[in-house]
Structure 1
Amino acid sequence: MSATIATPAARKFAVGRYATIVTRVLTGLLFATTGLNGFLMFMPAPDPSTLAPEGVAFSGALYATGYMLQLASGVQLVSGVLLLVGRFVPLALAMLAPMVVNIVLFHVFLEPSGTVMAVLVAAAEIGLAWAYRDKFRPMLQPR
């Protein structure tokens, strides 16, 4: 009978691996749910009277385009599902990056009430991008 003794480095690797999986799944759930909600409207919309007028105006302008909210919901849904199943994760992160930047900037400048959640989403995106950094290196090579 042999006992397996994990080295501190092996334990650190395992913790990092599990943290990446948990972050990926939670981020995937968040974006898959909000993306699906964009099409099915199963979550109630916030009361506009409780929101900043600038945020309401920005959201109204996106809605008025006739396509932007559907496009954003589609990107969120597809990216969220990819994160959940663990396939094409770098592609999902690249698709979500501009959306996450917009979410953070929207809450920082237009609707401060959701800034904490927006920063947490950005931290998850950055953490996952760091975990998959080897997959992004070829994109960053000058040719």
Structure 2
Amino acid sequence: MKIAVLIARILLGLIFVVFGLNFFFPFIPKQPMPTGAAGAFSGGLYGSGYFFQYMKVLEILSGLFLLANRYTAFFLLVLLPISLNIALYHTILAPAGAPIGISIIVLNVFLCIAYIKYYSSVFTAKPTV
């Protein structure tokens, strides 16, 4: 189990670091802008002027912390909504990328389950001060 967690953590960290850096320093050839609902969604996020920059900085930072194995449980939670959005975008709006989107969410959920003991206090029904 430790080896599977190590591989998943490194793989997820690399995915987010590489694709996050690619936004700022394009080294992977860009695909044409999608059309239809996928294009409208992407265009709206790009058009906001801040969203993608903010998200990509979070991806790079989180990916680096996963690679360094520091604050891993926290950064898995930071990446979870991003991973879910990637998976939903690619399965609903741009199905050609569904395998990578599903892979990312599976890796993230697998790692969250592996680190479940660190989340136990979050699931306390009646927390006390």
21, 34, 53: which one aligns with 1:36: 21
Query: Hey, what's the Cα distance between the residues in 1 that align with 2:84 and 2:11?
Result: 18
Q: Paired residue for 1:3?
A: none
Q: Paired residue for 2:88?
A: 105
The alpha-carbon deviation at position 20 of structure 1 amounts to 0.4
Q: What is the TM-score normalised by the length of structure 2?
A: 0.92
Query: Hey, what's the Cα distance between the residues in 2 that align with 1:72 and 1:24?
Result: 19
Q: Paired residue for 1:65?
A: 48
Q: Which amino acid aligns with 2:55?
A: A
- 1:135 matched to 2:106: no
The alpha-carbon deviation at position 53 of structure 1 amounts to 2.2
Structure 1, gaps ≥5 residues long: 1-15
Q: Paired residue for 2:10?
A: 25
| Identity rate, percent | 31
Computed over aligned residues only, the root mean square deviation of the Cα atoms, in angstroms, reads 1.1
Structure 2, gaps ≥5 residues long: none
SS in 2 for 1:22: helix
The alpha-carbon deviation at position 52 of structure 1 amounts to 4.2
Count of aligned residue pairs for this structure pair? 126
Quick check: which has more Rg, 1 or 2?
A: 1
Q: Which amino acid aligns with 1:136?
A: Y
Q: Which amino acid aligns with 2:108?
A: E
**Is the contact made by 1:82 and 1:92 (CA closer than 8 Å) also made in structure 2?**
yes
Mapping for residues 78-93 of structure 1, pairs under 5 Å: 78-93=61-76
Q: Which amino acid aligns with 1:82?
A: F
Pick which of 52-61 and 118-127 moved more.
52-61
Query: Hey, what's the Cα distance between the residues in 2 that align with 1:94 and 1:111?
Result: 25
Q: Paired residue for 1:46?
A: 31
